[in-house]
A and B are shown apart, each in its own frame.
Chain A
């Protein structure tokens, strides 16, 4: 271990997957010389200062090993799951190719499998949920952090919102079926009657459908978005707030023109995590979205998502369908991966643009 490097940095690098040989090369002999004090004369000049003890070096190394193994376990586990799913999906990928992604029919008897409607349903429901959950989540975070209510009340409020995350999704599903859908019905009917020419209201809500699914999904991602946004806004240094008000901004000007841009990378992380959660949500959607194999802009028609396709078809699936379902799972994984990469890209961009980080 290089004695000049402050302890704590190495483990962090390792946890981030950066503990490679490359970082060690500048001090190739540091490992052997770790215990020898290179400054014996300094020792007599400053008797209080001294090198870390052997025990401290050892605990440093142990901590590094723990961090490294924890990181490896995650990576190995992910790789294994990918391997399993891909292996099971392989026959289907070979049989259906890209036609699987552009196909719109799912019929076991005919042996045709296509997931375009499910891809559409997944993206549409998640985007709607992100729109609602994102706006409300960030609004709640602003409300909790920008001196609208006192600190203790804000903490209570935040705890309540985070408790939303602990509710099982089956409960959300049941709530959607028994409370939300009946509640939405009259409004949906009216919208369809009056504004039926707008594609969004192009059909009637006969039961499950996109609107209740997206609404419940929005509530489900709300705690994630709100909690991470609160942290992002809290991290803004006090002097930035002073600078904003010092320029003579009103509260809203300070929030919109200074606070939100300053917290933008954190807020983006909140949105990406929320979106990821919406993409993968299974149970509540399987109960609420109607599992209909169709592509429609209408908020009130039933649809399907990849995750709920998996959940509803898996239990009775035969060999061939299991392969197709695994292929669908791969598609979902790919979408999630793309969303995360895209989010990371935007985040890097905002970091560079707003905070000057390279």
Chain B
């Protein structure tokens, strides 16, 4: 190691106990010249919920979106490191990001239904994957899971954009889970939801993790303790002049919240973070 690298804090790698589905090793993530995230190792365990917490702007969304190459849409984005998914680096040259996103689905921070009917929104992924089975049944199942069925069952032909913000977000969740992706990434999925719908989505997540793997960004500490099995805490490093995000600590949620190793983590979860 050279002198500057020694000066930088790097979190101790988290030793996952179970199977790791996505093994994410970030060296550096850039937006143009701006170094957004550095040195973070974030393994996502199978059939578990991994929560990302940290102050605003620390790169949680950036890391999460790197896991299914969503950031490739941003021209200035550059990823250094590797993300192993079932033994294959998703950033390898031969890998088409389209295929990555078919298996690793995403729910975004802001609801973004398509301008088409509620039914077509949920059936979108099924049709995209040329699903041969009963589409109607799948759509209903997905809408039920997303706790939206009762509200929309009589108006499936209406536009998805005619729903309220919270309903739109649940529609987006239904759209994402209809194809039963292997891994589901959620970027603050509940920030537009009321407490009841939040509860329903959390229950859905706990149900989903029986069969799928989830990773979620949240600003809500209670939510992290309620649903996340593993928690990764990110923070911002301003010592190098920029505002660079990095992983501070990752571990079982209990340990992070009850017995954090790092002082920074302790301050953040107790609300003393400045």
Q: List chain A positions with a Cβ less than 8 A from chain B.
A: 147, 237, 239-250, 253, 257-258, 261-262, 352-356
Contacts and interface: CB of A to CB of B under 8 A. Distances in A.
A247 B124 contact: yes
Contacts of A354: 115-116, 159, 161
A246 B70 contact: yes
A354 B110 CA distance: 19
Given A245-B70, A246-B105, A239 B114 contact: no
Nearest to B155: A356
18 contacts: A237-B112, A239-B110, A239-B112, A242-B73, A243-B108, A243-B112, A246-B105, A247-B128, A248-B100, A248-B102, A248-B125, A248-B128, A248-B129, A262-B115, A353-B159, A355-B161, A356-B115, A356-B158
Nearest to B185: A246
Given A246-B106, A247-B175, A240 B70 contact: no
Contacts, number: 76
Contacts of B108: 239, 242-243, 246
Given A243-B113, A353-B117, 20 more contacts: A147-B75, A239-B110, A242-B108, A245-B73, A245-B98, A246-B101, A246-B105, A246-B176, A247-B128, A247-B175, A247-B179, A248-B99, A248-B101, A248-B128, A262-B115, A354-B161, A355-B115, A356-B115, A356-B158, A356-B160
Nearest to A254: B98
Contacts of B124: 247, 257
Contacts of B116: 261, 354
Interface of B: 68, 70, 73, 75, 98-102, 105-106, 108, 110, 112-117, 124-125, 128-129, 158-163, 172, 175-176, 179
Contacts of B70: 242, 245-246
A249 B115 contact: no
Given A248-B125, A249-B98, A250-B98, A243 B114 contact: yes
Nearest to B158: A356
Given A247-B101, A248-B99, A261 B175 contact: no
A262 B98 contact: no
A241 B73 contact: yes
A147 B128 CA distance: 22
A247 B158 contact: no
A228 to B, nearest CB: 18
A253 B128 contact: yes
A110 to B, nearest CB: 57
B99 A244 contact: no
Nearest to B163: A356
Nearest to A250: B98
Contacts of A237: 112
- With a 10 A CB-CB cut-off, give which of A147, A240, A242, A253 has the most chain B CB atoms: A242
Complex A-B, nearest 7 residue pairs according to Cβ-Cβ distance, in ascending order = A356-B162, A356-B159, A248-B102, A248-B101, A239-B112, A243-B112, A354-B115
A244 to B, nearest CB: 7
Contacts of B159: 352-356
